[in-house]
Structure 1
Amino acid sequence: MKIQTIENRMPELIGVLTQVWEDSVRATHNFLMPGDVERIKEYVPQAIGGIGKLAVAFNEQDRPVGFLGVEGEMIEMLFLDPAVRGNGLGRSMMDYAVKNFGASKVNVNEQNRGAKGFYEHMDFSVCRRTDTDDQGRPYPILYMELKRA
């Protein structure tokens, strides 16, 4: 697999990444209420197109299988096709974000225990918590920062 920084965000690529997002969320965010995925999905193409820095992971057939978006020091999005989870791609993408984009912060849904554990394994720690997400929905958010040596 290769990871590339993407400057030119063509509509076709954004469409494929939106599908990766949906597949990933449906596999990992089982705490969401019915209809939430569809409502949130409406904003995903704009978020992907507008993120400051975007890295995409491509498989051997040059198909996007994961992506990561960074704004400033904040990892705003990291989503992988469920078929490639557990093979080290998430770690590779995080390493890429830290090394190439200077990323050092991430927010994660508290109910997404797998993601929280992944970020802790990547040496991030919780520095604060909110009871709701940015839209006021009842999904607590953990604010995590990379531990400094």
Structure 2
Amino acid sequence: MQILAITPNEYPELLSVWESSVRATHDFLSEDDIQFYKSKMLSDFFPAVSLQCAKDNQTKICGFIGLSEDNIDMLFIAPEHRGLGIGSMLLNDAITHHQASKVDVNEQNTQAIRFYERMGFKIISRSELDGMGKRFPILHMQLSA
């Protein structure tokens, strides 16, 4: 596996990875919620971050991470590739090469919270609403020194 930069022509494949990952891990979202966020991925969310991916034999995207400044804005792994260390690899690269040290996680996504805690992040605060003003509480986490 290699970590490679994403180009906009790969956004449709990213969207597919994003949706399959969300359906596997975000059981607190309704179908309407998924469609709402999906409608914003290509136009708003992907272009707003620096994207890197892990590719299987450099052909298929297995997972990706989106960064802005020192924030991890998104980290999604295709369900068939979960548990293989891809998320850790992407996160470690972001910390080492991009000085990533903060992440926001849905409070209901306990798997993600445990993952980030294992990777050295601690909860520093909580918001009642997500960045879109929806009632999905967010835990703000930061890498421990």
TMscore range, shorter length: over 0.9
Aligned to 2:41: 44
Q: What is the DSSP-based 3-state SS (H/G/I as helix, E as strand, rest coil) of the residue aligned with 1:35?
A: helix
Aligned to 2:14: 17
The structure in which a higher percent of residues are helix is 2
Identity of aligned residues (%): 39
Structural mapping, 1:28-107, within 5 Å = 28-46=25-43, 47-51=45-49, 53-60=50-57, 62-107=59-104
Deviation at 1:50, TM superposition (A): 2.8
Summarize deviations over 1:24-43 as a string: whole Å, max 9, x none. 00000000123110111011
Equivalent residues of 2:105, 2:112 under 8 A apart: yes
Q: Distance in 2 between matches of 1:132 and 1:96?
A: 29
TM-score (norm 2): 0.95
Q: Distance in 1 between matches of 2:117 and 2:102?
A: 12
Deviation at 1:61, TM superposition (A): 5.6
Q: What is the DSSP-based 3-state SS (H/G/I as helix, E as strand, rest coil) of the residue aligned with 1:132?
A: coil
Q: What is the DSSP-based 3-state SS (H/G/I as helix, E as strand, rest coil) of the residue aligned with 1:108?
A: strand
Q: Distance in 2 between matches of 1:106 and 1:19?
A: 22
Amino acid paired to 1:71: S
Amino acid paired to 1:5: A
Aligned-residue CA RMSD (Å): 1.1
- 5+ unaligned residues in a row in structure 1: which ranges? none
Equivalent residues of 1:14, 1:49 under 8 A apart: no
Equivalent residues of 1:128, 1:144 under 8 A apart: yes
Q: Distance in 1 between matches of 2:67 and 2:133?
A: 22
Amino acid paired to 2:137: P
- 5+ unaligned residues in a row in structure 2: which ranges? none
Q: Distance in 2 between matches of 1:94 and 1:100?
A: 10
Equivalent residues of 2:51, 2:67 under 8 A apart: yes
Indicate which of 105, 108, 113 corresponds to 1:111: 108
Deviation at 1:146, TM superposition (A): 0.2
Equivalent residues of 1:132, 1:141 under 8 A apart: yes
